A and B are shown apart, each in its own frame.
Chain A
Amino acid sequence: MQSINYGQNIAHIDELFLSMASSVENAVRKASHAMKTQDQELAKEVKKGDTMIDGLQQAIEDIVVETIATQQPVASDLRQLMSATKLASDFERAGDYAVHLAKGTKFFINEPAWRQLEELEAMAEAGCVMIRQTAKAYVGRDAALARSTAALDDAIDHTHKALLKEVLTFLRDHPEQAEQASKIMTISGYLERLGDHMTNACEAIVFMVEGIHTELNE
């Protein structure tokens, strides 16, 4: 028979997670849009919103520590709590990447020639889908959804590699654009890392549900 207090704590963590995931997804989407439209005000909003995301991570960690201290969970309950701290950390990093993306807005204002990069937009959108589904997989304790969500990282990685190839090809004819090319690849790298963090989060969900450590998308 599960303790009422334990159940309330878990429900609270789920609620905070959904809130955190929603905030991170919004941040990534806003950052992507800010880059595309060179909207500096929108970029500032993303940077400001990161404080709240960090606060949600701390709130989740505090509840996990309190729950472990006072409820003594074992087995799947303990794995669930340990996974919660892992996921909170991955989501917080994703929030940080949204801020880095937002800072990229300035680059696109100064370098109009590089603006039409649909690849970056596609990677950001794929990242948003991963964020949303990862949160759903955690709250639903759904290992199958976690696995299928991690598989979406393939598309992000593929796009990142294709972009790298394209940029290198371009650079051969335009070596004077090396600094700009490097900036583009850094931005692309943020989105690629975001996908990796969501994959890590999905691995934590699989561990939570099945109790096994697994590498998804090797």
Chain B
Amino acid sequence: MNEEYPLQFASDHIALSSKDLAVIYADGLTAVKKLSISFPRKAVTAIIGPSGCGKSTALRAFNRMNELIPGTTTKGEVLFHAKNIYSPSVDPVAVRRHIGMVFQKPNPFPKSIHENIAWAARIHGQKGNCDDIVESSLRNAALWDEVKDKLRKSALSLSGGQQQRLCIARTLALQPEIILMDEPTSALDPISTASIENLITELKKDFTIIIVTHNMQQAGRISDMTAFMLLGDLIEYTSTKKLFVHPEDERTERYITGRFG
């Protein structure tokens, strides 16, 4: 991949792509307008932009989560393994297993730490003893050492940062290829944020990560690629280094330098 001009990835380097993706809400608002973008495999891509730019809507479109919002229409294509996930023959639940999601507010189930992961795995077809999956998921989420002696305790007894890592572990238990993260640290303190950011940097060795963040400094710290959206449009998409050192578009420059947004 050419770091300077990475817009054209070789097809085997692309984990997910969209073509003319548009999302329209029930009130007629076109939140995402004809978005065409490719996400490189095993890398972190950040989507930044001011509130209302369509970044979270776009993220949810990548695993059909907008369908849970009544009256939402999605047009265009999202290609995963060369198949459009919006094809009538595609099961959205299966899509969400392969393309998992972590949300802004940690949302552990009101169950034990162990059951948060085991139950999710069982729901998706895991049979028998789930202890191995629970341990490997917690290890991959850098949480095992902190909770291994209290797996039967309620997940709600964990701190905010630990709960978010538990949610990441729960997603990892389903063995996704891609993890979508919608402002995963905005509800956390700085130390927890730093630990999640380092976790993301580790996870990209095995997973493709697409993260929406309103914190562009976070995008700078952890992402390989950054996409800047404004009013539903993709304005600029390039390597993070290039975007933060020498953005091409004046709107990008004005946003990242704090002149608006």
Residue B30, interface by CB 8 Å = no
Segment of A35-43, A67-75, A158-166 in the binding face: A67-75
Given contacts A70-B240, A72-B217, contact A5 B222 (CB under 8 A): yes
Q: Are A66 and B241 in contact (CB under 8 A)?
A: yes
Within 8 A of B (CB), among A1-23: 1, 3-6
B202 contacts across to A, CB distance below 8 A: 4
Bound-complex Cα distance A71 to B197 (A): 12
A-B contact pairs, 14 of them (CB 8 A): A3-B198, A3-B221, A3-B222, A4-B198, A4-B201, A4-B202, A5-B201, A65-B245, A66-B245, A69-B220, A70-B221, A70-B240, A71-B220, A72-B217
Residue B244, interface by CB 8 Å = yes
| A70-B240, A72-B217 given; 20 more Cβ-contact pairs under 8 Å | A1-B194, A1-B198, A3-B194, A3-B197, A3-B198, A3-B201, A4-B198, A4-B201, A4-B202, A5-B201, A5-B222, A66-B241, A66-B245, A69-B220, A69-B244, A69-B245, A70-B241, A71-B220, A72-B220, A72-B221
Given contacts A1-B191, A1-B194, contact A70 B201 (CB under 8 A): no
Bound-complex Cα distance A6 to B241 (A): 13
Residue B154, interface by CB 8 Å = no
Binding site for B on A (CB under 8 A): 1, 3-6, 65-66, 69-72
Q: Are A5 and B221 in contact (CB under 8 A)?
A: yes
Q: Are A70 and B194 in contact (CB under 8 A)?
A: no
Bound-complex Cα distance A65 to B217 (A): 15
CB of A71 to closest CB in B, whole Å: 6
B245 contacts across to A, CB distance below 8 A: 65-66, 69
Bound-complex Cα distance A184 to B217 (A): 54
Q: Are B198 and A70 in contact (CB under 8 A)?
A: no
CB of B68 to closest CB in A, whole Å: 34
Q: Which residue of B lies closest to A72 (CB)?
A: B217
A1 CB contact (under 8 Å) in B195, B217, B240, B241: B195
Given contacts A5-B201, A66-B245, contact A71 B221 (CB under 8 A): yes
Q: Are B220 and A70 in contact (CB under 8 A)?
A: yes
B194 contacts across to A, CB distance below 8 A: 1, 3
Bound-complex Cα distance A72 to B220 (A): 8
Bound-complex Cα distance A69 to B195 (A): 21
B220 contacts across to A, CB distance below 8 A: 69-72
B241 CB contact (under 8 Å) in A3, A4, A69, A72: A69
CB of B243 to closest CB in A, whole Å: 9
CB of B177 to closest CB in A, whole Å: 22
Q: Which residue of B lies closest to A1 (CB)?
A: B194
Bound-complex Cα distance A4 to B191 (A): 14
Bound-complex Cα distance A72 to B190 (A): 14
Bound-complex Cα distance A6 to B197 (A): 12
CB of B187 to closest CB in A, whole Å: 18
Within 8 A of A (CB), among B218-261: 220-222, 240-241, 244-245
Q: Which residue of B lies closest to A71 (CB)?
A: B221
Q: Which residue of A lies closest to B222 (CB)?
A: A5
Bound-complex Cα distance A155 to B198 (A): 48
A-B pairs with lowest CB-CB distance, top 9: A70-B220, A69-B244, A1-B194, A4-B201, A66-B241, A69-B245, A70-B244, A4-B198, A72-B217
Bound-complex Cα distance A5 to B220 (A): 10
CB of B215 to closest CB in A, whole Å: 11
CB of B4 to closest CB in A, whole Å: 12
